[in-house]
Amino acid sequence: GDVEHYPIPTLVGTGLFTGATRIVTVLCPYTENAPRITAVQASADVNDTKITVVLADGTSVEIEE
């Protein structure tokens, strides 16, 4: 149709995982081709349920899974 589509950076994770593994994925829409999120901070500990998201304006938001 008449809808514009833009490619986005996409992570492809491949590998052999042994034991427990924590993978955190954040999907965020772009505003005027600029991401609102600049960083995602998360522990590799599978028992940790907190994620910190750093926004483009410098503020941090802590999320509990």
User: What is the rounded average pLDDT of the residues 42-52?
Assistant: 94
* Strand extents, DSSP E, the chain: 30-31, 34-35, 37-42, 50-55, 60-64
Interior angle at CA 14, CA 9 and CA 20, nearest 5: 115
User: What is the rounded average pLDDT of the residues 5-27?
Assistant: 82
**To the nearest whole percent, how much of the chain has pLDDT over 90?**
40
- Rounded to an integer, what distance in angstroms lies between the CA atom of residue 39 and that of residue 62? 12
Q: Is the model's pLDDT at 1 over the cut of 70? A: no
